[in-house]
Amino acid sequence: MGFKEIRNGIGVRPLNEMIALTADRFPNKLAVRIKDAKTKKYREYTYAEMLSSIKKIGGFLKSQGIKKGDFVGVIGENRSEWIISYFGILWIGGVVVPLDSRAKETEIRHILHHSGAKAVLASSRYLDTIFEIKESCKKKTFNLVVSMDKSEEVPNLPEIFENYNDVVPIERVNLEDVAVILYTSGTTGSSKGVMLTHRNLSSNVDQISKVIYFDENDRFFSVLPIHHVYENTAGNLVPLAKGASITYARSLKSKILFEDLKETEPTVFLAVPLLLEKILIGIQKKIEQAPVHTKGIFTVIRGGAKLLNTFSKGKGSVIFFRSIREKMGFGKLRFMISGGAALPLWVARGLEELGFPILQGYGLSETSPVLTLNPPCCPKNETAGVPLPDVELKIIDPNENGVGEIAAKGPNIMKGYYKNPDATKEVFTPDGFFLTGDLGYIDEDGYLHITGRKKSVIVTKGGKNIFPEEVENVLLQSPFIEEILVLRGFNPDTGAEEVHAIVYPNMEKLDEYFLKKGIENPTEKDVYEVLKREIDKYGASLAEYKRVKRFTIRDEEFPKTTTNKIKRYLFEQQHFDR
């Protein structure tokens, strides 16, 4: 099946024109806000105020010599001034270079050098890093630094917003002009600048608007890193194109996060699987700790919900578990979108059982990013959903099970990699399809199933393919395994290739287990035996050749990308002989 379009799209236009049009339609509506940590009051911008600030930033940048086509970096935490800076650059036809606020100085330095950025807008906490990079540059890549906060050292947005009145008219840009250069190392370690045009980003917003209903009455809640294309497109451009409001979370700390959620009562919430998993585990933990009679009531409610669900497409869970969602601030939620990584099926099922309107999607930085999404009418969250309108998918070189590399074509596919024509050529087929590097298949109903990364596949001597992600998802069902990485390994005695793993245990669960067993000082061997038993237990559902034969224990979390994907490339060359 394909996505059924529920309405006409919003049209495809340059992003600076898009925000101007929204501000003209909804000048007095709340656009963006965040609660001030000191005053405990919201700093709010209506669409008219937001547009005025955008024009002032654009005017100031132009007065400092920034012109159409120049690259300007933006770095900071999620906040209103970040997205206003973004549009201020676009207003004068500049190109935004979003910088990962969690990146190391060397990574930021590389991006600023490679892109040739002429200026950087930064929040106060990142000014020192930017100054250090600026001073150490033999070749002065950028001369202008602007602070998002009050500053005596450099020009700053509060003073520009208050005192600068030399605004400039909108710069007319072509849809094929680059709007954003997004540098992403992903899980492979190779840093490339993804060139996304105004057409790429605007068309993705248009595609989403055709199949998901949202309007000026919706309230989006932004919690994911704003520089990442998933949050930037779906969590910012989408609502700002229709006059909806965005509240930026102050923190990811549970207490503060849920305070903001309760005050906001969002209708749309974007998340990555790790965050959704933590939300679900938090609910389950409270249920486990509840008095016996409360647990009994919950069991009865669960049974009633399941019974009603069989006749009403999940309405039983929506009705019976409304109070749980309301207490968390999710009482008005219409869509909870999961992206950035694969959503474990047990998390999807757990949230569905509690009535959360969860929808899993799929995309890449190079695709602006959304390629597929589960339809609200009939989600199958064990899949990545069906293609958006105007997105064409095909499977390259499928095997006997229909699994091959996923390729995509559409108006949202990137222009290419900046200053890297060879890498660009490698990812496009002669007929114009973008090679995603992901493996999967399309089922009889048109839903996309993703089985793993092409580069991660383990091929046995017998020619069988093992997808590490499949094995990982099975073993992550164990409560004692917090994170796991499945890799190609070799038997130290025979040299034969076999499946190995690195395990980061859930120490809290292990502590509870050993306490119940009366083991006060568990040894590494004790931990190893528990994990081995769990790996054998859950791995039994896999074919023999897919089962983990050896594993090592890791005592800290794996290093991850912005979207919480483990940086697999850091470990793929390691062999284990335990």
Backbone angles phi, psi at 388, to 5 degrees: -70, 160
Query: ω into residue 369 within 30 of 0, thus cis?
Result: yes
The tokens of 97 are what?
């270079």
Chain segment 320-347, per-residue pLDDT in tens: 678 889 999 999 999 999 998 889 888 9
Tell how strand 268-271 and strand 219-222 pair up.
Answer: parallel
Residue 454: predicted pLDDT: 84
Residue 2 or residue 16, greater confidence: 16
Least confident among 230-244, 269-283, 424-438: 269-283
| Average pLDDT score over the chain | 90
Average confidence (pLDDT) over 392-400: 94
Residue 309: predicted pLDDT: 59
Residue 17: predicted pLDDT: 98
Residue 191 or residue 247, greater confidence: 247
Residue 573: predicted pLDDT: 56
Q: In 3D, which of 273, 260, 274 has the Cα closest to residue 221? A: 260
Chain segment 215-256, per-residue pLDDT in tens: 999 999 999 999 999 999 999 999 999 999 999 999 988 899
Residue 461: predicted pLDDT: 64
Residue 48: predicted pLDDT: 98
Give CA–CA dist 528/545, Å, rounded. Answer: 22
Q: What pLDDT band is residue 576 in, cutting at 50, 70 and 90?
A: very low
Structural domains counted in the chain: 1
pLDDT of 295 above 70:
no
Asked if residue 528 belongs to a domain, the reply is: yes
The tokens of 29 are what?
């509506």
Q: What pLDDT band is residue 187 in, cutting at 50, 70 and 90?
A: very low
Q: In 3D, which of 248, 195, 199, 241 has the Cα closest to residue 220? A: 248
pTM listed for this prediction: 0.85
* Cα torsion through 421, 424, 429, 433, rounded to 10: -140
Asked if residue 480 belongs to a domain, the reply is: yes
Q: In 3D, which of 84, 69, 369, 103 has the Cα closest to residue 248? A: 84
Cα 350 → chain centroid:
20
Residue 452: predicted pLDDT: 86
Give CA–CA dist 300/201, Å, rounded. Answer: 47
DSSP class of residue 237? Answer: I
Q: In 3D, which of 513, 455, 451, 526 has the Cα closest to residue 480? A: 513
Judge whether 8 and 16 are in contact, CB under 8 Å.
no
The tokens of 379 are what?
């989600």
Asked if residue 146 belongs to a domain, the reply is: no
Q: What pLDDT band is residue 570 in, cutting at 50, 70 and 90?
A: confident
Residue 91: predicted pLDDT: 98
pLDDT of 307 above 70:
no
Judge whether 334 and 218 are in contact, CB under 8 Å.
yes
Cα 278 → chain centroid:
15
The domain of 553 spans 468-570
Residue 577: predicted pLDDT: 41
Chain segment 125-136, per-residue pLDDT in tens: 999 999 999 887
CATH at 560: 3.30.300.30
pLDDT of 188 above 80:
no
* Cα torsion through 170, 172, 178, 180, rounded to 10: 10
Asked if residue 138 belongs to a domain, the reply is: no
**Three-class SS of residue 454?**
helix
Judge whether 72 and 96 are in contact, CB under 8 Å.
yes
Instruction: Tell the residue number behind the tokens 């979108």, with chain if given.
Output: 337
Q: Which of left, alpha, beta for 27 (phi over 0: left; psi -120 to 50: alpha)?
A: alpha
Chain segment 505-562, per-residue pLDDT in tens: 999 999 999 999 899 889 989 999 999 999 999 999 888 889 999 999 999 999 887 6
Asked if residue 188 belongs to a domain, the reply is: no
Asked if residue 110 belongs to a domain, the reply is: no
pLDDT of 60 above 70:
yes
Asked if residue 265 belongs to a domain, the reply is: no
Average confidence (pLDDT) over 372-400: 95
User: How wide is the angle at C-alpha 568 spanned by C-alphas 562 and 569, nearest 5°?
Assistant: 105
Q: b/e for 290-327, b at 16 or more Cβ within 10 A?
A: eeeeeeeeeeebbeebeebbeeeebebbbebbeebbee
Residue 566: predicted pLDDT: 85
Chain segment 358-381, per-residue pLDDT in tens: 999 999 999 999 999 999 999 999
Asked if residue 558 belongs to a domain, the reply is: yes
Residue 466: predicted pLDDT: 85
Q: In 3D, which of 65, 90, 176, 76 has the Cα closest to residue 124? A: 76
